[in-house]
Amino acid sequence: MYLNRIPELVKPLFGDLLWRVPTTERVAYLTFDDGPTPQVTAWVLDTLKTYNAKATFFCVGRHAASENALMQRMRTEGHVIGNHTWEHLDGWRTPTLPYLRSVLRTHPCTGSDLFRPPYGHLSREQATALRTRYKVVMWDILSADFDTSLTAEQCERNVMTRLRPGSIIVFHDSLKAWPRLQGALPRVLEQAIEAGYRFEALPSA
């Protein structure tokens, strides 16, 4: 089970995490988790360039370590890179010390002070330890492109019906999400830009 939008009542419990960027401007923040994945991430970068959009890529360390060219391309094209642990760990199922070691192992690959917990699962102890060094980024809108029971059109609606200024939107540049991402991302970009939105990379801490 997952929620496309985090209930407002939950956010104060983890108020030191970034759920949405406070702004009244029509700016939104695309984020991509779980890459880099050669075919998929390259396509995402091509698509973002077509629409003059910037994004933030939360990279799994073991993927980033073997995809130097894609990592460099992200940076060269003005995108921001974040940390997503070395092996996509679930914080609810992993003790704090091994979890933190996984984050630190990924740091040389990303060089980033932005971190997103896989699945959004993070204990209070982990969050407290991480925020001494990282800005922990959650989300405002989940496209649910990882859900194989959905269509690209449903993922598109998940985003467009919830979009508001400062929204942080989650997509995945993974093979699992690829069939839905490929259909949803261009339509989200087209509709949002037509509605006056621009897409920027998240600011670092």
Which of 16, 33, 63, 147 is an active site residue? Answer: 33
Catalytic status, residue 33: yes
Choice among 63, 140, 172, 173 that is catalytic? 172
Please confirm, yes or no, whether 16 is among the known catalytic residues: no
Q: Can you tell me the distance from the alpha carbon of 176 to that of 166, in angstroms, rounded to the nearest whole number?
A: 27
Give the side-chain half-sphere CA count within 13 A for 68: 1
Burial class (CB in 10 A: 0-12, 13-18, 19+), 166: middle
Going from the C-alpha of 48 to that of each of 58, 86, 182, the distances in angstroms are 16, 26, 12
What residues are labeled active site?
33, 172
